[in-house]
């Protein structure tokens, strides 16, 4: 089974890249299941119901979120209606929506997907992602060994630690949030595919997706500035993971870096 994981979609450039590139990627890599981090899809901050529906129409199977999950208020009701959009599972009990789901591929293979939020250098007060994931994996494993985890976190150490902590217990742990793709993709000793960050899908002539001049001015002046999503040099970043669906063990992980050019 081939699983495509795509990093943070940033604004309209990222949405356009996904729409333009996903069909070819799915065909080229014989993709069976697609997980997309959509937490920056709406103007760089959050996800709207309309955009979520558009992404599902494109062929995405599960959408994950992160620290911007509550930025677009109309999403809260949709999170309760459609459990293929998942928010971080380690938010306190009572938060809208769910933090994990189990979906089937076209061939009927069950895949569990979990979304988690890191605690190091992050603004939300959430429960321990390590303990939360242990509990969730025990539930998912009753139905399938195929488990993909999107760990939305700032600190590389926290991501690496979770990878080793869950080695052999999940199929893959992919990091998101920093918008910079890392070059440390590997299959760990007990069959868990790992990468510290998928990178972003959006404008790269920018500072992590935002207009670079505004960000530079903020650093230089130390004054608050309103951010705007940049427009140029759009790319899509992610990974392809080959998983043995019978065991849930990963065989291979490969980075994806695709340029998107508007005709």
DSSP of 105-140: -TT--EEEEEEEE--TT-SS----HHHHHHHHHHHH
- State the Cα–Cα distance between residues 152 and 40, nearest whole angstrom: 12
- State the Cα–Cα distance between residues 99 and 75, nearest whole angstrom: 14
- Residue 263: band (very low, low, confident or very high) from pLDDT cuts 50, 70, 90: low
Residue in 43, 68, 83, 124 annotated catalytic = 68
- Fold of the domain spanning 2-259: Purple Acid Phosphatase; chain A, domain 2 (3.60.21)
- State the Cα–Cα distance between residues 25 and 224, nearest whole angstrom: 39
- State the Cα–Cα distance between residues 77 and 225, nearest whole angstrom: 31
Which of 170, 204, 234, 232 minimizes the C-alpha distance to 35? Answer: 170
Q: ∠ at Cα 52 (113, 97), nearest 5°?
A: 55
pLDDT in tens, 25-43: 999 999 999 999 999 999 9
State whether residue 148 is helix, strand or coil. Answer: strand
pLDDT given for residue 72 in this prediction: 93
Cβ contact 187:253 at 8 Å: yes
So where are the chain's domains? 2-259
Q: What is the mean pLDDT of residues 200-211?
A: 89
pLDDT given for residue 206 in this prediction: 86
pLDDT given for residue 124 in this prediction: 80
- State the Cα–Cα distance between residues 111 and 134, nearest whole angstrom: 17
Q: Which two tokens stand for residue 24?
A: 């070819």
- Look up 68 and say whether it is catalytic: yes
pLDDT in tens, 63-89: 999 999 999 999 999 999 999 999 999
Q: 98 CB contacts (<8 Å, ≥6 apart)? A: 79, 83, 86, 87, 89
Answer whether residue 207 shows pLDDT above 90: no
Prediction pTM value: 0.94
Mean pLDDT, the chain, rounded, equals 95
């Amino acid at each position: 089974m081939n699983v495509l994981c795509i990093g943070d979609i940033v604004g309209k450039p990222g949405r356009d890249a996904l729409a333009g590139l996903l069909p070819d990627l799915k065909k080229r890599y014989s993709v069976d299941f697609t997980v997309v981090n959509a937490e920056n899809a709406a103007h760089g901050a959050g996800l709207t119901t309309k955009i979520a529906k558009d992404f599902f129409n494109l062929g995405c199977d599960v959408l994950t979120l992160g620290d911007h999950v509550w930025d677009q208020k109309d999403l809260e009701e949709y999170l309760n209606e459609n459990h293929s959009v998942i928010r971080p599972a380690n938010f306190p009990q009572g938060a809208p929506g769910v933090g994990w789901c189990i979906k089937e591929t076209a061939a009927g293979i069950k895949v569990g997907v979990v979304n988690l939020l890191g605690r190091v250098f992050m603004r939300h007060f959430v429960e321990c992602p390590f303990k939360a994931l242990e509990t969730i994996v025990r539930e998912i494993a009753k139905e399938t060994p195929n488990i993909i985890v999107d760990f939305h976190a700032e600190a590389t150490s926290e991501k690496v630690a979770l990878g080793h902590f869950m080695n052999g217990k999940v199929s893959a742990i992919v990091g998101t949030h920093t918008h910079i793709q890392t070059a440390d993709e590997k299959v760990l000793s007990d069959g868990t595919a790992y990468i510290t960050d998928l990178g972003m899908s959006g404008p790269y002539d920018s500072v992590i997706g935002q207009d670079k001049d505004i960000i530079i001015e903020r650093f230089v002046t130390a004054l608050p500035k309103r951010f705007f999503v940049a427009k140029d040099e759009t790319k899509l970043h992610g990974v392809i993971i080959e998983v043995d669906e019978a065991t849930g063990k990963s065989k291979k992980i490969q980075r994806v870096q695709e340029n998107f050019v508007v005709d």
